[in-house]
Amino acid sequence: MNVKITGASLPNIPWQDKPSKALNSPMWRYDRNPIIGRNPAPGVTRIFNSAVLPYKGGYVGVFRGEQTDGVPHIYLGYSDDGLKWEFETQKIPFTDQDGKSFMPRYAYDPRLIEIEGVYYIMWCQDFYGASIGMAKTTDFKTFTRLENPFMPYNRNAVLFPRKIDGTYRLLSRPSDSGHTPFGDIFVSESPDMEFWGRHRHVMSRSSAWWDGVKIGAGAAPIETSEGWLLIYHGVTGTCNGFVYSMGGAILDIDQPSVVKARCRRFLLTPEEDYEERGFVPNVVFPCAALCDADTGRLAVYYGAADSYVGVAFTTVDSVIAFIKEHSELSGEDTEPGTR
Amino acid sequence: MNVKITGASLPNIPWQDKPSKALNSPMWRYDRNPIIGRNPAPGVTRIFNSAVLPYKGGYVGVFRGEQTDGVPHIYLGYSDDGLKWEFETQKIPFTDQDGKSFMPRYAYDPRLIEIEGVYYIMWCQDFYGASIGMAKTTDFKTFTRLENPFMPYNRNAVLFPRKIDGTYRLLSRPSDSGHTPFGDIFVSESPDMEFWGRHRHVMSRSSAWWDGVKIGAGAAPIETSEGWLLIYHGVTGTCNGFVYSMGGAILDIDQPSVVKARCRRFLLTPEEDYEERGFVPNVVFPCAALCDADTGRLAVYYGAADSYVGVAFTTVDSVIAFIKEHSELSGEDTEPGTR
């Protein structure tokens, strides 16, 4: 392995070796996908766009569970191997700082990121318009809401897994009130997770067609000797709606608003039955990536067709080599992002 | 006078007595409107949507000057009486914290607010999408840009003229990338004008038709014994475009996300030639209000038809009485604004 990864060993990472058939990217699917099928829990019709982390030798996750009234909320789940999951039957009981119940009206597309022993959940919710909600937990029993970092309209918030130069960093994608037909990725700083500022533009929607409409951060960035590896989603428009694919970029390690490399080609695009048909056809939507720092193995969790959860594999070495080989950057990508 | 105003004496406030004719609101126009006509400065085709403050016995202002290439920038102006204005021929030369030139690509709808001897300018600009720019000055010679408080898309930022409970408070109106067809007013807090948070929803677009599409803060709130008097703009939609009118509300003095009263009726709506015809017909757009704390006289500066500046008069007593008499509040207006 050539790329050095700053992260933990994860010897029990979900894994399958690369298949022998020719591939158009260095990423391949778990052959038993989807790992989460329809009606996975009582009163929950679909789970997708969900995030997982290692926890106490196994795995914990926050899951977008579409209730049978169509409203999404976040459910906790546990797994021994990261592939077979069991879900709690009640939504995560978010509270305010005083311990009183403080539930979002809806909550979707959660991410889960650990910083210095604290687990942060961030999701999209109604804040008089769609924007970001956040909470923290240390024990997965008490979940304390933090201040909403931004006003509407915003989606796809993803924290970096450590402070950079003394401040927390949060990726997000400003949007509008509907099925937003535009969207770039920004990064913001906070000294305390209460006040946010020093906003910088990171990446624009691109001239490549697959991510030419809008983009959004997916998994927590992975720290490597080449920079932050960012797995994101990109969207193209068709006469019959949006198509969501997975892409990859490398951000400067100290100044993550500067993009060092960005793959012009998608890493994964809807092709399989469970990606092309479902509640929202043609969606591959990454929300988390497990990484074993020893081997460089990467397991990416993605929502499929707003109906299922799938896993895809790659290695940090091969995906970074592919991103660099096919990198194409716009002026807006390489700027510090201040105007 | 019944309402107590916390503010300075301004004996030379522009003023005309109320005309004898019947009015549908307690506000009347200066009979020599518009006070700023077409081609008011070299290379500037129109000035409108601009803000003024008392300064050294006279007045200073920041003016949206539409250049003859159609791009708006901010120009400084001075006046002895607040009615006849002279403009600097060069745009305001904004710099970064190191004193290097840092000009916005465009800048429009400036507001000007003084807090503890520092003058803050805030405007709408390109931050990879329309959002708020800010700068400060103490001498109107050096203008230092501050961090952009928010990511796109946002417009109509207006500071409160003092800290509340130890933090700066900034009103704004989240929007989208175009001629936004929605929009509520929010308020945000900052300890330092660098990081912003504790965002709260203030007021929704209403069930009254005149401000049913979107609303935005206009002048800096005026501190009174009844609460913060907020002059704002409200927008309705027609088959031939938007119509912008002026409205009034009273916000809680300690918790300004809570609306205490809100006038269901507009205070001023386009009726005059210079309001109904111009670059954008049918626009009355308030950006500043001068107030004499001794008499309660109020002079509101507003852009007219994106072509002119007009002035309208009222008194704090009469406008607050009118707002309270015709107040109608929604649930979203009276909530603390947290979700």
The answer on pLDDT for B1 being more than 90 is: no
Mean pLDDT score of chain B: 97
In chain B, what is the greatest distance between 2 CA atoms, to the nearest angstrom?
56
Q: What are phi and psi of B24, to 5 degrees?
A: -95, 0
| Dihedral angle sign, alpha carbons of residues A165, A166, A170, A174 | negative
Q: What are the pLDDT digits (tens) for B250-296?
A: 999 999 999 999 999 999 999 999 999 999 999 999 999 999 999 99
Span B117-138, average pLDDT: 98
Can you spell out the DSSP letters for A299-336? EEEEEETTTEEEEEEEEHHHHHHHHHHTB---HHHHS-
Residues in A closer than 8 angstroms to B191, CB to CB, are 195
A101 in reach of chain B (CB within 8 A): no
Can you spell out the DSSP letters for B46-105? EEEEEEEEEETTEEEEEEEEEETTS-EEEEEEEESSSSS-EEEEEE--EE-TTS-B---S
| Dihedral angle sign, alpha carbons of residues A149, A152, A153, A156 | positive
Q: What are the pLDDT digits (tens) for A163-187?
A: 999 999 999 999 999 899 999 999 9
Angle, CA of B301, B307 and B309, to the nearest 5°: 20
A332 in reach of chain B (CB within 8 A): yes
Report the chain A residue with the minimal C-alpha distance to residue B128. A201
The answer on pLDDT for A1 being more than 70 is: no
Could you tell me which of A127, A173, A170 has the C-alpha nearest to residue B186? A127
Angstrom distance (rounded) from CA A218 to CA A120: 15
Can you spell out the DSSP letters for B147-159? PPSS-SSEEEEEE
Confidence of residue A268 (pLDDT cuts 50, 70, 90): very high
Angstrom distance (rounded) from CA A142 to CA A125: 19
The CA distance from B197 to the nearest CA of chain A, in Å, is 4
A1 in reach of chain B (CB within 8 A): no
Q: What are the pLDDT digits (tens) for A138-163?
A: 999 999 999 999 999 999 999 999 99
Angstrom distance (rounded) from CA B52 to CA B61: 4
Q: Name the one residue in this structure whose structure tokens are 């004719």.
A: B21
pTM of model > 0.95:
yes
Residues in B closer than 8 angstroms to A106, CB to CB, are none
Q: What are the pLDDT digits (tens) for A6-45?
A: 999 999 999 999 999 999 999 999 999 999 999 999 999 9
Determine which of A128, A134, A201 to mutate to test the interface with B (most B C-beta atoms within 10 Å): A128
Span B54-78, average pLDDT: 98
Contact A339 B186 (CB under 8 A): no
How far is Cα of residue B85 from the mean position of the Cα atoms in its chain? Answer: 19
The CA distance from B131 to the nearest CA of chain A, in Å, is 10
A152 in reach of chain B (CB within 8 A): yes
Count Cβ neighbours within 10 Å for each residue of B44-74 and write b for 16 or more, e otherwise.
bbbbbbbbbbbeeeebbbbbbbbbeeeebbb
Could you tell me which of B147, B143, B200 has the C-alpha nearest to residue B171? B200
Check residue A75 and give its pLDDT: 98
Do B183 and B214 touch, CB atoms closer than 8 A?
yes
Higher pLDDT, B1 or B130: B130
- Supply the DSSP symbol for B220: P
Q: Name the one residue in this structure whose structure tokens are 């029993």.
A: A141
Could you tell me which of B53, B34, B178, B205 has the C-alpha nearest to residue B115? B53
Residues in A closer than 8 angstroms to B205, CB to CB, are none
Q: What are phi and psi of B217, to 5 degrees?
A: -60, 145
Q: What are phi and psi of A316, to 5 degrees?
A: -60, -40
Residues in A closer than 8 angstroms to B195, CB to CB, are 189-191, 195-198
What residues pair up with B186 in beta bridges, in sequence order? B172, B201
Check residue A2 and give its pLDDT: 87
Would you call A281 helix, strand, or coil by DSSP? coil
